[in-house]
């Protein structure tokens, strides 16, 4: 359904992974999709980096118009010129997806180490392009959106906002993404602009798929690690994109500001399925949690109710959020 025809959208960090899937889904919905990244052309070596031109081809194949712009989101001037170009070419911006992230390599190198054995630069790798860059892009997007009194800013965050994943700098950055999205929403609400923090589930990106493939066979003894290695309840990047496309077209989206938005729960609400036709469940659903602990149930997930555990219980038990 081409419900975003005429909409001007921007996805940052779209050479691969979530950004690429989001861009494809927006194209699928008929949007004009600007995409950014540091790599414009495909590499001659099989390095798995991805490129803007490859994403452009995929978006156009899905039915959208795609405009790739090479941008380093650690450079504020490049970001300013990006939005200036969109203003000159389109005169409007309906959706910004803050997705650019530069911390993957640093987190991979720091895997298994306590924070004090990593260099202080790990903080900057996680939170310069991936937190500060989201704030900078949102400034320029809001300047374009407020005169039109409409728009949507989606900031990609993570369950690592509430529960330990990877490292302290990662968790701090994701918590900050949630807070920035919520606080921006307060100031943008009078202008009819929605700001949302988006939590995908376990997404089988290129990097995460490689991580799972490289896990030691001993992971089979740990239920949680075996779930990752098996690809249990994984989502594809396209599902996040389809959800963001639905949010962009939803006239009641302002009613969602101030709360974290979980991709699987929104997909259920909007009646959306993933690329493979499957319907992954929320990571707080009994249908995910019980088979996570008892691997034998993974063969029969449909027998378990798709009921979400209340946040109050999760915060007392499995999520290690700071307590007051």
8-state DSSP, 197: E
User: Is 43 in contact with 49 (CB distance < 8 Å)?
Assistant: yes
Q: Which of 170, 232, 270, 300 is catalytic?
A: 170
Q: Which of 139, 110, 137, 132 is nearest to 122 (CA)?
A: 110
CA-CA distance, 22 to 198, in Å (whole number)? 12
CA-CA distance, 189 to 65, in Å (whole number)? 29
- Give me the helix-helix angle, 17-28 and 52-61, nearest 10°: 30
In sequence order, which ranges of the chain are alpha helices (DSSP H)?
17-28, 52-61, 76-90, 104-110, 121-127, 133-145, 168-188, 206-213, 223-230, 237-249, 263-270, 286-293, 311-316
Q: Is 170 a catalytic residue?
A: yes
Q: Is the dihedral of CA 111, 162, 322, 223 positive or negative?
A: negative
Q: Which of 221, 219, 232, 139 is nearest to 187 (CA)?
A: 139
Q: Would you tell me how many other CB atoms lie within 10 Å of the CB of residue 271?
A: 8
Q: Which of 94, 214, 226 is nearest to 149 (CA)?
A: 94
CA-CA distance, 115 to 106, in Å (whole number)? 12
CA-CA distance, 188 to 153, in Å (whole number)? 10
CA-CA distance, 196 to 218, in Å (whole number)? 39
CA distances from 209 to 39, 157, 216, 228, 235 (A): 21, 19, 14, 9, 11
Catalytic site positions: 170
């Amino acid at each position: 359904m081409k419900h975003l025809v005429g909409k001007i959208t921007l996805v940052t960090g779209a050479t691969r992974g979530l950004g690429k899937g989001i861009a494809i889904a927006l194209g699928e919905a008929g949007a004009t999709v600007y995409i950014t990244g540091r790599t414009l052309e495909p590499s001659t070596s099989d390095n798995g980096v991805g490129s803007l031109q490859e994403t452009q081809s995929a978006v156009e194949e899905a039915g959208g118009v795609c405009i790739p712009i090479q941008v380093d989101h650690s450079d504020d001037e490049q970001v300013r010129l990006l939005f200036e170009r969109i203003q000159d070419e389109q005169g409007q911006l309906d959706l910004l997806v803050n997705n650019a992230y530069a911390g993957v390599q640093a987190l991979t190198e720091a895997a298994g180490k306590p924070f004090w054995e990593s260099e202080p630069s790990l903080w900057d790798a996680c939170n310069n392009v991936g937190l500060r860059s989201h704030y900078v892009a949102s400034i320029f997007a809001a300047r374009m959106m407020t005169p039109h009194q409409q728009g949507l800013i989606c900031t990609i965050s993570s369950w690592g906002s509430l529960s330990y994943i990877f490292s302290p700098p990662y968790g701090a950055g994701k918590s900050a993404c949630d807070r920035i999205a919520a606080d921006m929403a307060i100031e943008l609400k009078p202008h009819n602009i929605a700001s949302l923090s988006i939590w995908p589930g376990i997404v089988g990106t290129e990097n995460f798929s490689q991580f799972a493939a490289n896990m030691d066979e001993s992971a089979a003894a740990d239920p949680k690690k075996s779930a990752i290695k098996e690809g249990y309840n994984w989502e594809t990047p396209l599902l996040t994109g389809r959800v963001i496309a639905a949010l962009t077209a939803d006239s009641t989206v302002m009613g969602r500001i101030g709360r974290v938005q979980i991709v699987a729960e929104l997909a259920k609400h909007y009646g959306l399925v993933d690329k493979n036709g499957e319907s992954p469940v929320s990571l707080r659903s009994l249908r995910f949690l019980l088979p996570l602990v008892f691997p034998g149930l993974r063969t029969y997930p449909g027998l378990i109710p798709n009921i979400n555990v209340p946040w109050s219980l999760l915060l007392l038990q499995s999520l290690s959020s700071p307590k007051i």
